[in-house]
Amino acid sequence: MRLRHALLAATLVASPLVLALPAQAAGSDAEPGVQIDGFSTVEAGGGWSEGTVTVRNDADAAVTGQHLVLYFGSRMLGLDQVAAEYADGAAGTWQPVKLVDQDLGAKPGGHQGVAADLTGAEVELQPHSVHTFKLRFKLLQSAHTGPEIDVSLDAYLAPTFGRDGLARDWTAQASKQVGTTGLTTAVNGLPGSVPADGKAHPFTVSIKTANKFDWHLDRALFFLWAGQGVGSTEGPAACDAQLELQDPKDGSWHQVGLAARGLEGRDVDLARYGTGPVDNRVINARLTLGANFKTSADARLGFGQFPGAGPVLFWAEQKLAATAVAGAPACVDPNAPAPKPTATTPAPTAPAPATAAPSVAPAAAVTASPTATASAAPRAATGNAGTTGRTELADTGAPDVTVPTVLGAGLLAVGAAAITVARRARRS
């Protein structure tokens, strides 16, 4: 029921964002217009993302006294993280864009950007004319938190551009979401079929970035989705499954959560458990499944920043199937409540060989090298059993859509709508 309500709310809030603006009608009372083209993606720490910004005047009178104002927005995007240049027309030479800080305030929390009066002067449009500017921007390395999954590029025609970066009383507006690439996450070494035998099965998680870019990632989470009919966003019962991470300082293992609980659920400290340079972090992990853990066809293990549970910079999923093992312990966590006894007494069985005894003793450090490689465009997780599930950023477009991805998409749409509404409200 709560899932249906979340998706309904997302639909109602997000719908206005996808409605196309009507074409401007020619004539004396036509309003000026703005259009943004290009800018498919921008790679963090990489080269320029290039496109055009076009302004038009379909009216019978000239448009004067207007500035072409640009806004680059993302999570805590500051002056030291963006560089931009423009050229007047196709034959124009590139010139630097003078950016200023623009803070949207506490709501929506943490969202900040930079703005610019593109040419630094008024843009005049003759009747029934079109003027196109070339624009390019790139994301730079900085000492603080990097961009989110995308950068919002907005263009406004406005009579004023204040020192605070706000375009007030704008007459025309256009927006473009530019996908941010260069961050790739992968789950390596975990088979698609995991025995529910009460034993720890090691694997690694890698987080790679292009251009040696430091995203200043701090926290993430694991989410074990057992599948439709048996899974829950609260994760599996403590008796049924356990995931541990190895502390590289002393080799000790520490249990972490397996639920998508929201902001407070991101209990994987990447600085503590990750090893290697900032552009190739590796986490040693192990998964233990008890005899009672059951999966359906769409079960999967996810890692990263769960969609809807805070800033979504990366999310990787791999399909998972639990394989029943005779004689396996019903409970993998000695501190969890014991399972309720059954009404019948099982027939006695011969003792299992010593080598088959369940064990969750600390295993040696996993040394499997990650196989993920950063790519220029988002890559969806394949989720095929026995293969590495990898994805860039928050692209979870696996062929069989699961509750986590649907729920995450809905929550992301709500957040995007709130940010857009707040931004436009501040400019009006």
pLDDT top residue among 4 and 57: 57
Task: Judge if 239 and 373 occupy the same domain.
Answer: yes
Task: Judge if 94 and 161 occupy the same domain.
Answer: yes
Confidence of residue 11 (pLDDT cuts 50, 70, 90): very low
Summarize the confidence of residues 202-222 as an average pLDDT.
90
From 164, 181, 198, give the residue that closes a domain: 181
- pLDDT above 90 as % of the chain: 41
pLDDT top residue among 303 and 75: 303
| CATH number of 48's domain | 2.60.40.1510
Task: Assess if residue 12 is contained within a domain.
Answer: no
User: Has residue 106 got a pLDDT over 50?
Assistant: no
How many structural domains are present in the chain?
Answer: 2
- What distance separates the 2 farthest-apart alpha carbons in the chain? 95
pLDDT top residue among 276 and 315: 276
Summarize the confidence of residues 363-381 as an average pLDDT.
32
Task: Judge if 154 and 203 occupy the same domain.
Answer: no
User: Has residue 111 got a pLDDT over 90?
Assistant: no
Q: In Å, what is the CA distance from 296 to each residue of 100, 197, 292?
A: 52, 18, 13
User: Has residue 346 got a pLDDT over 90?
Assistant: no
Q: Tell how strand 300-304 and strand 253-256 pair up.
A: unpaired
Task: Judge if 120 and 137 occupy the same domain.
Answer: yes
What's the pLDDT score for residue 369?
32
Task: Judge if 216 and 108 occupy the same domain.
Answer: no
Stated pTM of the model? 0.68
What's the pLDDT score for residue 147?
75
User: Has residue 36 got a pLDDT over 50?
Assistant: yes
What's the pLDDT score for residue 96?
95
Summarize the confidence of residues 11-29 as an average pLDDT.
38
Residue 35 contacts residue 133 (beta carbons within 8 Å): no
Task: Assess if residue 382 is contained within a domain.
Answer: yes
Residue in 350, 184, 196 with CA at minimum distance from that of residue 282? 184
What's the pLDDT score for residue 177?
92
DSSP letters along 160-187, please?
---TTS--TT-SEEEEEEEEEE-EEEEE
Task: Judge if 162 and 197 occupy the same domain.
Answer: no
Residue 326 contacts residue 288 (beta carbons within 8 Å): no
Half-sphere exposure of 78 (CA within 13 A, CB side): 9
What's the pLDDT score for residue 77?
79
The DSSP code for 65 is E
Task: Judge if 251 and 264 occupy the same domain.
Answer: yes
The alpha carbons of the chain give a radius of gyration, in whole angstroms, of 26
pLDDT averaged over every residue in the chain:
73
Summarize the confidence of residues 362-384 as an average pLDDT.
31
The identity of residue 261, as a single letter, is: R
**Distance in angstroms between the alpha carbons of the first and the last residue of the chain:** 37
- pLDDT above 70 as % of the chain: 65
Confidence of residue 172 (pLDDT cuts 50, 70, 90): very high
Residue 149 contacts residue 139 (beta carbons within 8 Å): no
What's the pLDDT score for residue 2?
38
User: Has residue 392 got a pLDDT over 60?
Assistant: no
**Domain span at 309:** 183-337+358-412
